[in-house]
């Protein structure tokens, strides 16, 4: 009787422990991690969602981990190895962590694929030997700039009375590529250099771009209209909020984001805002494909390409966002 009781307690605690460690743990399944720097961004939530889909379609397990700083990133690698993972996808919180992430992954025998933000080595150059999937940031930036100018012209703005706020985050190459591409397009279209104002963002979120944009608006009360540039949706949204705070109405502000995933609530608002639209990228492909790259690498030994470019960007506005997002399974 006592023996039976002990056995049943042992069994139930083993089951409970398994439940805590990993619901649906299966020893025979390949396990891989997917680490992202900003889990609060719909962009990264969408990547996770499609990586999960890949795991479901192909029968492997995906461990999603938020890694907003270096300490948590390195700790996550230990925990992946302890949980039997064989590799991981990462959008690093800081590209300069690249060398330590690669060294630790090697020591723990984990394969690494990077997404969105490419690792930078101690020599300041991209670590081109680490497989990377990302977009053509410069081209997307150029597209943002051209679309902003086209819309300003359509509204018949006097460009001499128009300012452009450029929310920059120079520490991150993909951000630099996008905002400098956007400025290039403005200049190529004849927009005056002295009307372009750089706003260095301290953080890559709405408060970061709000604060930096506010300073520019305060410094240039003479401008009647504003274009808002930034490396992604949040960088532009913060700028839009700042123009509202400074008393500008939607007809005098044009912002076009990049991502597309993070402007849904904005475009759904009843009142039109200064956010005209966004360049919708492919977080579904980023998530699904990188997860598959790691899975194929660990399960079949097929090493991924060192660089996989993803280049589609579609303008979404109030008119078409529901249709476009639905078509891509993102709504
Ligand atoms: C960076 C940005 C994200 C998203 C991706 C796209 O990581 O922080 O918001 O734009 O690039 O690759």
Residue 2 has pLDDT above 50, yes or no: no
Residue 90 buriedness (CB in 10 A; 0-12 / 13-18 / 19+)? buried
- Residue pair 190/158 in contact (Cβ under 8 Å)? The answer is no
Q: What pLDDT score was predicted for residue 271?
A: 98
For the segment 86-104, the average pLDDT, to the nearest whole number, is 98
Mutational test site, ligand 1, from 92, 138, 182, 259, max ligand atoms within 8 Å of CB: 259
Residue 254 has pLDDT above 70, yes or no: yes
Cα 290 to Cα 47: distance, rounded to the nearest angstrom: 9
Spacing, Cα 37 to ligand 1 middle (Å) = 10
For the segment 80-88, the average pLDDT, to the nearest whole number, is 98
* Neighbour count for residue 169 (Cβ, 10 Å): 23
Q: In this structure, what token pair is assigned to residue 232?
A: 């992604």
Residue 182 has pLDDT above 80, yes or no: yes
Q: What pLDDT score was predicted for residue 9?
A: 34
Q: What pLDDT score was predicted for residue 27?
A: 66
Residue 17 has pLDDT above 60, yes or no: no
For the segment 162-172, the average pLDDT, to the nearest whole number, is 98
Q: What pLDDT score was predicted for residue 11?
A: 34
Band (pLDDT 50/70/90 cuts) for residue 26 is: low
**pLDDT tens-digit map of 304-323:** 999 999 988 999 999 999 99
Spacing, Cα 231 to ligand 1 middle (Å) = 8
Residues with CB under 6 A from ligand 1: 41, 43, 91, 116-117, 134-135, 174, 204, 232, 258-259
Band (pLDDT 50/70/90 cuts) for residue 4 is: very low
Partner residues linked to 101 by β-bridges: none
Taking the model in full, what pTM does it have? 0.91
CATH 3.40.50.2300 fits 137-280, yes or no: yes
Q: Please report the atom of ligand 1 found closest to the CA of residue 262.
A: 9
Cα 322 to Cα 317: distance, rounded to the nearest angstrom: 9
Delimiting residues of CATH 3.40.50.2300 domain(s) in the chain = 31-130+283-312, 137-280
Residue 331 has pLDDT above 60, yes or no: yes
Q: What pLDDT score was predicted for residue 13?
A: 33
Strand 132-135 and strand 162-168: pairing? unpaired
Cα 276 to Cα 191: distance, rounded to the nearest angstrom: 19
Angle between helices 206-219 and 233-245 (to 10 degrees): 40
Residue 230 has pLDDT above 50, yes or no: yes
Residues with Cβ < 8 Å from 309, sequence gap 6 or more?
A: 133, 134, 135, 136
Q: What pLDDT score was predicted for residue 28?
A: 83
* CATH class for the region spanning 31-130+283-312: alpha beta
Residues with Cβ < 8 Å from 80, sequence gap 6 or more?
A: 31, 33, 63, 65, 88, 108, 110
Band (pLDDT 50/70/90 cuts) for residue 25 is: low
Residue 10 has pLDDT above 70, yes or no: no
Handedness of CA 40, 44, 46, 48 (dihedral sign): negative
Cα 322 to Cα 331: distance, rounded to the nearest angstrom: 7
Residue 108 has pLDDT above 80, yes or no: yes
């Amino acid at each position: 009787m006592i023996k039976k009781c002990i056995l049943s307690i042992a069994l139930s605690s083993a089951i409970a422990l398994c439940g805590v460690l990993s619901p649906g743990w299966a020893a025979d399944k390949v396990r891989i991690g997917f680490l992202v720097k900003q889990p609060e961004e719909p962009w990264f939530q969408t990547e996770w969602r499609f990586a999960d889909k890949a795991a479901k379609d192909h029968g492997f397990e995906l461990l999603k981990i938020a890694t907003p700083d270096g300490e948590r990133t390195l700790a996550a690698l230990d925990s992946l190895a302890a949980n039997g993972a064989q590799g991981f996808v990462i959008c690093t919180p800081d590209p300069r962590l690249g060398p330590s992430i690669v060294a630790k992954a090697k020591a723990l025998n984990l394969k690494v694929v990077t997404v969105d933000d490419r690792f930078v080595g101690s020599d300041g150059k991209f670590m081109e030997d680490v497989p990377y999937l990302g977009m053509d940031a410069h081209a997307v930036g150029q597209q943002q700039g051209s679309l902003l100018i086209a819309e300003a012209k359509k509204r018949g703005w006097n460009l001499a009375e128009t300012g452009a706020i450029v929310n920059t985050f120079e520490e991150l190459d993909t951000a630099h590529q996008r905002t400098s591409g956007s400025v290039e397009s403005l200049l190529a279209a004849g927009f005056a250099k002295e009307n372009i104002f750089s706003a260095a963002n301290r953080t890559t979120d709405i408060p970061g771009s709000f604060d930096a944009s506010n300073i520019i608006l305060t410094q240039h009360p003479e401008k009647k209209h504003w274009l808002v540039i930034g490396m992604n949706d949040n960088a532009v949204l913060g700028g839009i909020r700042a123009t509202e705070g400074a008393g500008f109405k939607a007809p005098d502000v044009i912002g076009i984001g990049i991502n597309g995933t993070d402007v849904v609530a904005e475009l759904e608002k009843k009142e039109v805002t200064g956010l005209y639209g966004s360049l919708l990228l492919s977080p579904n492909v980023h998530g699904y494909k990188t997860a598959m790259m790691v899975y194929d690498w660990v399960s079949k030994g097929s090493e991924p390409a060192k660089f996989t470019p993803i280049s589609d960007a579609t303008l979404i506005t109030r008119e078409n966002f529901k249709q476009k997002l639905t078509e891509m399974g993102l709504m």
